[in-house]
Amino acid sequence: MSTEQGIALVDRDEDGVDRAFREDVLAGLHQRQKAIPARWLYDDAGSQLFEDITELEEYYPTRAETEILEARGQQFAELIGKGRAVVEFGSGSSVKTPLLLRAIEPAAYVPLDISGDFLRMSAAALAEKFPALNVYPVEADFMRQVELPSEVFGAKKLGFFPGSTIGNMVARTAVDLLRSMRATLGAGRDEMPLLLIGMDLVKDRQVLEAAYDDARGVTGEFNLNLARRINRELGGNIPVDALRHLARWNDDFARIEMHLQAVRDIAFTVAGESFTMSEGETIHTENSHKFTRRSANMLLLAGGWAPKKRWTDEQGRFSLILAEATEKRDAP
C-alpha cells in the first residue's frame, strides 16, 4: 500500500481542488431542495467532530453497539467460528473492532477504506494490539466491488460493517452497497460469506432529535463545518453565521435529516457560481435512517443477505445483525 495510491483516489485539478467535491457541491446547490452528499462532512475537522459526537451523552448509538459487542462475544464465537478472514468496511474503530477480533479469533483482518491515512493509522494500532494477527489493509472505495488480497482467497469471510453507516444511505444506495459487499466477499463460491452489520432502531422522536442536536452544539458544529469547508476549499463566501443547524425526524422515511437553514435572506458564491437562499430555506446535508426488525430484514434481503441472528442492547436502542449471503433468488 503506497502513499501514491492514496493520492490517485482523489482526483484534484491544477489548483488542488477535489473535483468530485466541487461537482457535488455545485450540482447540489443548484437543486430546488439544496442538498450535498453527507460524505463531504468528513474532512479532518469533520472526522474529529464526529469522534467527539460519539462521546456525547445524547448520542447513544456508539455506546449501545459497544455494549452488544461486549456482551455477545461467546455467541459470535459459536455462530461465526474461529479462523475467518474479517473484512471491515471502513477503517475500524479502536474500541469495537478489538472486541469482535478477540471474540472470534480470525486468521486475518482486512480493513477497507478510501482514506489511506486513517487506514494506515488504525491498521498499525490493531497490529500492535494483536501481534499474531495478519493485517492486510486495502485502500479502496468499498461502495464498489473490491479485490481482496490474494492471502485471504481461500479463507471463509466475515464482513463487518458497524456503526449503522448503512443508515446514512438512501435505500437504493444501501442495496447497491450490500450487493457490492456480497461480490467483494466472494458470494457464489462454495462457502457463503457472513456479514455482521449494525443498524440503529426507530425510537422516540425526542430521543432521536436530541441525539442529532445535542445541548453542547457539537453536532451543529459538525454540520456547519461543511459550509466552512466549502468556503475554504472551493473559494466560497457563504455567511456561516447566517446558517443554523437543524435536525428533524422525517416519519415518512423513518430518518433523521440534518439541514443547514438560512436565518435570513443570503447571497453567496462558490467556485465562481452565484447562489441565494431565502430565510428558512435549507441545504439538506445528511440522512440517518432508523430501522425496525422488519425494515432491516427487508433491506438485507433486497441486498442479497439472509438475516440469521439479531442482537440488541439492554434498552433495545440499537441492533447488530448476523446475515448470510443468499443464493441469487429464493423460491417461490
Binding site residues, ligand AVI, CB under 6 A: 53, 61, 163-165, 167-168, 212, 219, 286, 288
| Residue 237: CB minimum distance to ligand AVI, A | 26
* Nearer Cβ to ligand AVI (46/307): 46
Phi then psi dihedrals of residue 238, to 5 deg: -65, 125
Q: Which is nearer to ligand AVI, 100 or 104 (CB)?
A: 100
Burial of 219 (0-12, 13-18, 19+ CB in 10 A): buried
> Where in the chain does DSSP place strands (E)?
34-35, 85-89, 108-113, 134-135, 138-139, 157-161, 194-200, 243-250, 255-262, 266-270, 273-277, 282-289, 305-312, 318-325
Task: Give the nearer residue to ligand AVI in terms of CB position, either 65 or 139.
Answer: 65
Q: How far is the CB of 141 from ligand AVI (least distance, A)?
A: 17
3-state helix, strand, coil in the chain (%, to 5): 40, 25, 35
Minimum distance of ligand AVI from residue 224's CB (angstroms):
12
Residue pair 127/285 in contact by the 8 Å Cβ criterion = no
User: Whose CB is nearest to ligand AVI?
Assistant: 288
Cα 120 from Cα 122, distance rounded (Å): 6
Least gap, CB of 50 to ligand AVI (angstroms)? 6
C-beta of 184 vs 287, nearer to ligand AVI: 287
In the complex with ligand AVI, which residue's Cβ is closer, 61 or 92? 61
Dist CA 248 CA 175 (whole Å): 24
C-alpha cell read off for 195: 456479514
Nearer to ligand AVI, 180 or 288 (CB): 288
Q: Give the shortest CB-88-to-ligand AVI separation in angstroms.
A: 15
Cα–Cα distance measured from residue 155 to residue 139, given in angstroms and rounded to the nearest whole number: 20
Instruction: Name the β-bridge partners of 269.
Output: 274
Instruction: Please state the closest distance from residue 165 (CB atom) to ligand AVI, in A.
Output: 5
Question: Alpha-carbon distance 258 to 238, whole Å?
Answer: 18
Residue 258 CB, shortest distance to ligand AVI, in Å, is 6
C-alpha span between 103 and 269 (Å, rounded): 52
Cβ proximity to ligand AVI, 20 vs 56, nearer residue? 56
